[in-house]
Structure 1
Amino acid sequence: MTVSAHAAPWPVRAVIVTTFEVGHDTGDAPGEAQFWIERLHLTEKLDFPGGTHPILASPDHRIVLIETGMSLINAGISTMALGLDPRFDLKQAYWLVAGIGGIDPAAGAIGSAVWVQHTINDTAQEIDLREAPKGWAYARYVSDTHGPGTLEGAEHDLGPDGPYPLVFTLNPDLARFAWCHSRDKAVAASDDMKRFGVRYGGAAAQPPSVLLGDSFASDIYWHGAIQTHYAEDWVKLLTHGAGRFMISDMEDSAVAEALWRLNRMGRASFDRLMILRTASNYTVQPPGETAIQSVLAPYPGGGKPAFEAAFRAGNAVLDALLATWPAMPAKDTCR
């Protein structure tokens, strides 16, 4: 479907941001978009030259969905392209990133959903660990500092307006509202999910849940105990102890930066951005396996529990928000 640029812009109420689909948009093995398309009846398809896939929309034009393409570069450019598209009025639209990621087993189980409070980018300096000073646990560190674990020397702004945007803090009231209105929407664990979680113990051995936490975005699909240690430290360092790494991804910070700039341009509202990451796998190998054995192994459920969790939690929140659109939810409406 082609929409004339001279027609009145659609007053969109919600944008669903996914990053990939496995095959067809409907009727086969699902990716991040399929459940949304099928269950919300997003039947209108629009050309999207600035993206990687046509835009899907509801017949009443209140909801649109994009598949950005995976990686930071694809996600940021696709989001910016949508935000600048004259066919849409997005000034009061909610933006929901609904994607999968790897969860830290210390935080939760496969199938869990994480409403993101801070998303952290991976811009850094690095030397090969084999050439690093003795005692370094990893060899990535904040630009202009002298090693891991410190911000000393980093005089620049670490936020979205800085030269190396690293820290994006989302609207805390909206993140909590989202958690409150979806905390009872967790998926059930299958037998293979339970068996796999028991190998880790702790939070991974508990049923999937809906959480508040933080995501770490990187173009590198990393895995293993050392890399998870780095992610945990990196998020804690850059949020001055306020954040906790829970889930990995390859897009969140780029979407957040795009929304930040679109907000400055009067095209969208950064305060209406929500990020929901659901756990398809763990970031750490289970006891008795090497990191390479773990990263090459299939995910329990093939990722489907995470796709289901994203729709269950995300759709519950959109329903609550769109019931009072365009008004933002009141603070502390759900405890």
Structure 2
Amino acid sequence: MKPAVVLVTQFEPTNGQTGEFSRFREAFSLEPIPDSPLPNLLYTNSDGSILGIIAGVGAVQTASVITALGMFSRFDLSDSLWLISGIAGGDPARSALGSPILTDWCVDGDLAWEIDARELPEDWPTGLLPLGAKAPYSPPATDGGVFGSRYESTPLPKDVLNWAQKLAASVPLAQSDEARKEGERYSENPAAASEPCLQVGATLSAVRFWHGHLMNEWANRWVELFTSGQGQFQSSNMEDSGTLFAIRFLHRQGLANADQVLLIRTVSNFTRPPQGEPAVSTLIAEEGEAHFPGFSLALENGFRVGEKLIRNWLAGDRPPGRGV
């Protein structure tokens, strides 16, 4: 089987609630592949042009699952477009709930030294340090030392990203009153209360579901550090560094094309509360679940953009140099 597109999502609730994969499954009539070699179900459409997977939550799961998928001889993924689609946290200074963000950089936020905040030196703004660094936001240890090669920052391929941006710009995006009202709480950040719009920016990937004013400041500075100022923090996720690491590994084996990867993260919640409010107020919802005021809107708009890109790729509308 040689699919033109590999669709990677991260989760699908087991209670029948709509997740990241649901709308794609309906739109492309994706059905389970029998005798899957993975613990995760694999899906395909009638002509085998799309291979879909729910890779799991957290970078450890996605790295393992994507590597196993790519090495299974039943599939030839060497010329596939990898479309990674999921919901994300977003910085209210830059994004409204429901905004799809095409990713230009993925930065890993887990490879680090950490000191408990209650034991910090007085002049340190955070206890999170680049692995091998001597102080917060200072240069990390170089490649080849005791910590091996670095993998904190991954630029996404520009030609595919530019192609996607031009196509997705014409996609009509859904809106919701709930998302708008949540954004209006951030009176100091007009972007939070604006209408959802397509954006391009960096995503910070960390298995810890972090939240709060100080952590948001850390995210901005961490992305700036590891992209040498070329990237701007736009979204947070828990999987993408693992997924992209696996694809790069498969690329080196000739089993995937790391130059054909698109990463879409759509804002379902903000990464910090409004000014003057405690972090927990926008982390945990009243019913005890995570606070996702833009959950349904993010799923819908992420699907709308992803569907457009998949259909155009299958129809042969691709970046220059990418064959049909």
- Relative to the length of structure 2, the TM-score reads 0.92
- Kindly indicate whether the alpha-carbon contact (under 8 Å) linking 2:96 and 2:195 is maintained by their aligned counterparts in 1: yes
Q: Which range is displaced more, 129-138 or 223-232? A: 129-138
State whether structure 2 residue 307 is matched by structure 1 residue 315: yes
Please name the residue that 1:128 is paired with. 116
Please name the residue that 1:187 is paired with. 173
Distance between the aligned counterparts of 1:210 and 1:268, measured in 2?
27
- Kindly indicate whether the alpha-carbon contact (under 8 Å) linking 2:142 and 2:150 is maintained by their aligned counterparts in 1: no
Identity of aligned residues (%): 32
State whether structure 2 residue 239 is matched by structure 1 residue 251: yes
Please name the residue that 2:316 is paired with. 324
Distance between the aligned counterparts of 2:75 and 2:273, measured in 1?
44
**Secondary structure at the counterpart of residue 97 of structure 1:** strand
- Kindly indicate whether the alpha-carbon contact (under 8 Å) linking 2:104 and 2:200 is maintained by their aligned counterparts in 1: yes
Residue correspondence of structure 1 range 31-46 to structure 2 within 5 A: 31-46=19-34
Please name the residue that 1:18 is paired with. 9
- Kindly indicate whether the alpha-carbon contact (under 8 Å) linking 2:127 and 2:136 is maintained by their aligned counterparts in 1: yes
Residue correspondence of structure 1 range 36-75 to structure 2 within 5 A: 36-51=24-39, 53-75=40-62
- Of 288, 291, 297 in structure 2, the residue corresponding to residue 305 of structure 1 is 297
CA apart distance, 1:143: 1.3
State whether structure 2 residue 87 is matched by structure 1 residue 100: yes
Distance between the aligned counterparts of 2:32 and 2:88, measured in 1?
28
- Kindly indicate whether the alpha-carbon contact (under 8 Å) linking 1:119 and 1:217 is maintained by their aligned counterparts in 2: yes
- The CA deviation string for residues 61-100 of structure 1, in whole angstroms up to 9 with x for no partner, is 1101101110010010111111011111111100011011
Q: Which range is displaced more, 40-49 or 244-253? A: 40-49
Distance between the aligned counterparts of 2:314 and 2:259, measured in 1?
15
Please name the residue that 1:109 is paired with. 96
**Secondary structure at the counterpart of residue 89 of structure 1:** coil
**Secondary structure at the counterpart of residue 33 of structure 2:** strand
- Kindly indicate whether the alpha-carbon contact (under 8 Å) linking 1:186 and 1:210 is maintained by their aligned counterparts in 2: no
CA apart distance, 1:174: 0.9
- Kindly indicate whether the alpha-carbon contact (under 8 Å) linking 2:90 and 2:235 is maintained by their aligned counterparts in 1: yes
Distance between the aligned counterparts of 1:186 and 1:108, measured in 2?
17
CA apart distance, 1:223: 0.4
Structure 2: where are the runs of 5+ without partners? 286-290
Structure 1: where are the runs of 5+ without partners? 1-9
Residue correspondence of structure 1 range 189-228 to structure 2 within 5 A: 189-200=175-186, 201-228=189-216
Q: Which amino acid is the alignment partner of residue 67 of structure 1?
A: I
Distance between the aligned counterparts of 1:236 and 1:186, measured in 2?
31
CA apart distance, 1:50: 2.7
1:186/1:286 Cα in 2 relative to 1: closer, same or farther (>3 Å)? farther
Distance between the aligned counterparts of 1:329 and 1:105, measured in 2?
32
State whether structure 2 residue 67 is matched by structure 1 residue 77: no
- Relative to the length of structure 1, the TM-score reads 0.89
CA apart distance, 1:49: 3.6
Q: Which range is displaced more, 210-219 or 137-146? A: 137-146
Distance between the aligned counterparts of 1:46 and 1:54, measured in 2?
9
Distance between the aligned counterparts of 2:81 and 2:99, measured in 1?
22
